């Protein structure tokens, strides 16, 4: 008789992501940064390339556009980004960074990168590659 006691990948995903959010939010509060894990994820995309429209952000993050509307609301409330209606196509709103939003990058990126690296420093490169391969496959399949 063969036993399969491996926990479901989906369960591990849910546990790991929940803990990530928890620790990242605590880390941000600890450094007096008024942001959440999710707001940082959106900001990181904008820090790479500013002026993306909301639907692009939703596509990149595999989220509903309504979700993005509310995160942008919260970022705008903190005066880190602004919505700029596209001159070419007035349906689009391009999200641009304010000076404050740009300045935040220097504080947040090193902090989060350091943390995120430390979380996976126990794993071998081969295992990390396998993990990325599996997760990417899952994402492709579900998208």
Contact positions toward DNA, by CB under 7 A? 14, 18, 21-22, 25-26, 36, 38-39, 53-55, 58, 62-74, 77, 83, 89-93
Q: Among residues 95, 100, 96, 103, which one has the least CA distance to residue 79? A: 100
Angle in degrees, 0-180, between the axes of helices 99-119 and 37-48, rounded to the nearest 10: 110
Considering beta carbons, is residue 20 or 47 the nearer one to a copy of itself? 20
The answer to whether residue 126 forms part of the interface with a copy of itself (CB under 8 A) is: yes
Based on CB atoms, which residue is closest to a copy of itself, 12 or 84?
12
Among 22, 29, 84, 103, binds a copy of itself (CB under 8 A): 22
Burial (CB count <10 Å: 0-12, 13-18, 19+), residue 71: buried
According to CB under 8 A, which one of 36, 50, 56, 61 is a site residue for a copy of itself?
A: 61
Judged by beta carbon, residue 42 or residue 97, the one nearer a copy of itself is 42
Inter-residue contact 40 to 23 (CB < 8 Å): no
How far, in Å, CA of 127 to CA of 109, rounded?
25
Within 8 A by CB and 6+ apart from 46, the residues are: 52, 81, 95, 97, 101
Answer yes or no whether residue 16 interacts with a copy of itself by CB under 8 A: yes
Binding region for a copy of itself (CB under 8 A): 6-20, 22-23, 41, 61-63, 116, 119-120, 122-123, 126-139, 141-143
């Amino acid at each position: 008789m063969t036993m399969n006691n491996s926990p479901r990948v989906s369960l591990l995903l849910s546990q790991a992501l929940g803990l990530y959010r928890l620790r990242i939010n605590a880390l941000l509060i600890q450094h007096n940064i008024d942001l959440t894990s999710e707001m940082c994820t959106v900001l990181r995309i904008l820090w790479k390339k500013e002026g993306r429209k909301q639907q692009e952000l939703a596509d990149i993050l595999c989220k509903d556009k309504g979700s993005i509307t509310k995160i942008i609301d919260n970022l705008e409330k903190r005066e880190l980004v602004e919505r700029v209606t596209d001159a070419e196509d007035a349906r689009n709103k391009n999200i641009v960074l304010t000076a404050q939003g740009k300045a935040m990058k220097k504080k947040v990126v090193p902090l989060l990168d350091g943390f995120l690296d430390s979380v996976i420093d126990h794993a071998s490169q081969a295992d990390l590659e396998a993990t990325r391969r599996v997760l990417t496959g899952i994402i492709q399949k579900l998208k």
